[in-house]
Structure 1
Amino acid sequence: MNIRKNLTASVSIASMVMASAAPAFADGELNLLTWEGYADPSFIDAFTEATGCTVSATYVGSNDDFAPRLAAGGGVFDLISPSIDTTAPLIAAGFVEAIDTDRIERFDEIYDAFRTADGINADGQIYGLPYAWGAIVFMYRPDMFDEPPTSIADLWDPALEGRVSIWDDKSALYVAARRNGDMDIYNLTDAQIAAAQESLLEQRPNIRRYWSTAGELVDLYLSGEVWVSNTWAGYQSALLEAEGMEVVEFIPEENAEGWMDSWMIVADSPNQDCAYEFLNMSISELGQCGVANVNGYSVTNPVAARNCMTDEQFASLHQDDPGYIDSLLLWENLGPRLGDYVSAWNAVKAQ
């Protein structure tokens, strides 16, 4: 799939929507702490033209990056886009503020399951605007395998020494736990976390590198260093396809994780008008088809998606089947256990 297919037409239509929806320039600057692709010029330029709000982005490689960056000086940022397993601690720490949904014109169009998710609702207030969702699947080079991998356990095969890459994120523990047969991955006991940690240490000879960004994983494949990995479904595979490399995504026998990212306003952001302009853009045709075309992700506003996607794209991104995400192991708030997971993962990397 070409992730930029129909991007020009989508942005052109959506820019007119943005221009008609904005009665006056908000005129300001927004600083984002976000993921690759979420501030792509292909749609951000149209947003700036329509609103007068300029956008600067700092990119993260893991959900574990948000809290430390905010704790070190959250006032630098106006908006962040953490995943659903990371939002609750940010709310509890006071790093983000409640969203005034009366200022979000199309809030009711978002899938109900996302609008009411525990991770963005607290004390009767809403702290996150659902933006995009998808799966953490696995990916391999078919030219390097006589028999294609079908299980997470295949990534521990000694024949793959130095040919595996796993995301540099605490979710590596989710992968190892499923390999061990522990499927309640967001409620692991101390013993199960220790077992997952031991499995990851056992896998170390197979690991070429723990990847942090989409570009890093793409380069590892293009250089021939990596043959199999986990991946952000639809994103890195499309980047590799654009470079002429064939890769195949698959959901292993042990299932795949699901995620949902939300935009959140950093507490005491001085750029409120531009922040709300951006939030409204993010769930409009411009923002929804922007991220779908750039990253290959599914989106949270099916009304906007229907307006700017082809029937083929709408179906391929499961926009006509929101129940698809229920079949995945959707990330959950780890609560007080978050530190245990992060510490265990950091200990693996330190070995």
Structure 2
Amino acid sequence: MTRKMTQRRVAIALASAAALTLMLAGCGTANSGGGGGTVKEAEKLGKTEGSVSILAWPGYVEDGSNDPKVDWVTPFEKETGCTVTTKTFGTSDEAFNLMKTGNYDVISASGDASLRLVASGAVAPVNTKLLKNYDGIFSFLKDRAWNTVDGKSYGVPHGYGANVLMYDTKTFPTAPDSWDVVFEKAGEHKGKVTAYDSPIYIADAAMYLMAHQPDLGIKNPYALDQKQFDAAVKLLKEQKPNISEYWGDYLKEVQSFKSGTSVVGTSWQVIQNVLAGEGGSTAVTIPKEGATGWSDTWMISSKSKSPNCAYAWLDYISSPKANAEATSYFGEAPSSQEACKFRDDCEAYHAGDAEYAKNIWYWTTPIADCVDGRTDVKCIDYAAWTKAWQEIKG
């Protein structure tokens, strides 16, 4: 599964400040062309159009061309009559720009892109009552800040995972219980600490500060005022001399831990699975401060030429068997308990564990209108996060 899969990179490039700072109260009424009008959710479904164009992370839409044994697209085509064409992307910024063209019907969007898509009018609200598989999706994935605006759902949850702490068991015979091993105590393993290469990693530092500097008043690591943001950036600049590498390609981190170049740092469960399968001496944990993570959403273009096939895809990919196949191949937890009937590794991914999920701060686009609900200050938007990240890395 994992060797054939190109894992995600979410090192988002500088986005338009205007797009990032739109008032979300107006997101549901702007169209993708920016010329006014209303984007409404579908009231009923009609005859499928015969084709659907999908923009997706690598590994999310497999038709057997990469591996004959990996194919959940062909059954969909036979079932619905909707021929699938797919384009993959490597970053959320690339996905955002492609979706704005209106050339795609469906997109799989991470939380650091979904709000931008809503704000730009590129995606339409989704009438979840038209999806027979929606009710079975874990409740803790629904109605969240990255997939719902003004009470309107803008998509269907796909899968989710945590950015866990990976450690070499020879170096750490006892599992670390805090992220301090990559921050304040990183100097103890100077040059062997690894971190995720993306501006969104600033949220990891903010999450750590929530627990260790409560006087900063951080309530959400994606909602940082200037003082809070400066503190997170300072922590990451102090971490920099201890970093072995910033990784975006999961295979590079696999090699880094196998070679001993890295002994501790941010990782994904799928990376631990690969290392365990190759006899690596690593383990993963979620420390007491919690973890950041992702929950991707299938969204429909506001300019879709095939809205009925688009709805058909959203319903199909959230069906237990298809969702199990897609999330297993990618290396994440499925979106429903029923999907676990088609997987034997749900326990490893903590699927359906609401208490585990509570410890995850899912990627959410930072915007000027603080997503933690504060109205007396302005928060730092993602454009500034991106600029700061380049300064941190040097």
Q: Calculate the TM-score normalised by the size of structure 2.
A: 0.71
Structure 1 residue corresponding to 2:204, chosen from 150, 153, 175: 175
Other structure's SS at 2:339 match: helix
Show CA shifts across 1:177-198 (max 9, x none): 3444245323322122112112
Residue 298 in structure 1 maps to residue 330 in structure 2: no
Q: How far is the alpha carbon of 1:273 from its aligned partner?
A: 4.1
Mapping for residues 1-351 of structure 1, pairs under 5 Å: 27-28=50-51, 30-34=53-57, 36-40=58-62, 41=64, 42-47=70-75, 50=78, 51=80, 53-61=83-91, 63=92, 65-70=94-99, 74-145=101-172, 148-156=175-183, 157-180=186-209, 181-182=212-213, 184=219, 185-232=221-268, 234-302=269-337, 304-310=338-344, 313-332=345-364, 334-336=366-368, 337-339=380-382, 340-349=384-393, 351=394
Structure with the higher fraction of residues in helix conformation: 1
RMSD: 3.1
Q: Calculate the TM-score normalised by the size of structure 1.
A: 0.79
User: Is the Cα–Cα contact under 8 Å of residues 3 and 292 in structure 1 kept in the other structure?
Assistant: no
User: Is the Cα–Cα contact under 8 Å of residues 336 and 352 in structure 2 kept in the other structure?
Assistant: no
Other structure's SS at 2:162 match: strand
C-alpha distance in structure 2 between counterparts of 1:345 and 1:65, whole Å:
18
The amino acid across from 2:361 in the alignment is L
The amino acid across from 2:56 in the alignment is L
Q: How far is the alpha carbon of 1:231 from its aligned partner?
A: 1.6
More deviation, 130-139/161-170? 161-170
Alpha-carbon spacing, 1:224–1:278, altered in 2? closer, same or farther (3 Å): farther
Aligned length: 323
C-alpha distance in structure 2 between counterparts of 1:279 and 1:134, whole Å:
20
C-alpha distance in structure 2 between counterparts of 1:106 and 1:272, whole Å:
17
Residue 8 of structure 2: aligned partner: none
More deviation, 196-205/180-189? 180-189
C-alpha distance in structure 1 between counterparts of 2:279 and 2:49, whole Å:
42
Alpha-carbon spacing, 1:47–1:164, altered in 2? closer, same or farther (3 Å): farther
User: Is the Cα–Cα contact under 8 Å of residues 102 and 122 in structure 2 kept in the other structure?
Assistant: no
Q: How far is the alpha carbon of 1:3 from its aligned partner?
A: 8.1
Q: How far is the alpha carbon of 1:222 from its aligned partner?
A: 3.6
Other structure's SS at 1:75 match: coil
Show CA shifts across 1:80-102 (max 9, x none): 22233542232011121222434
C-alpha distance in structure 2 between counterparts of 1:231 and 1:168, whole Å:
11
More deviation, 140-149/223-232? 140-149
Show CA shifts across 1:331-351 (max 9, x none): 4453323333333223323x1
Show CA shifts across 1:1-52 (max 9, x none): x989xxxxxxxxxxxxxxxxxxx98643523232x43234423344455355
Residue 22 of structure 2: aligned partner: none
C-alpha distance in structure 1 between counterparts of 2:340 and 2:187, whole Å:
46
User: Is the Cα–Cα contact under 8 Å of residues 289 and 305 in structure 1 kept in the other structure?
Assistant: yes
Q: How far is the alpha carbon of 1:320 from its aligned partner?
A: 4.6
Structure 1: segments with no counterpart, 5+ residues: 5-23
C-alpha distance in structure 2 between counterparts of 1:252 and 1:98, whole Å:
36
User: Is the Cα–Cα contact under 8 Å of residues 51 and 309 in structure 2 kept in the other structure?
Assistant: yes
Q: How far is the alpha carbon of 1:129 from its aligned partner?
A: 0.7
C-alpha distance in structure 2 between counterparts of 1:211 and 1:343, whole Å:
18
Alpha-carbon spacing, 1:217–1:46, altered in 2? closer, same or farther (3 Å): farther
Structure 2: segments with no counterpart, 5+ residues: 4-46, 65-69, 369-379
Q: How far is the alpha carbon of 1:262 from its aligned partner?
A: 0.8
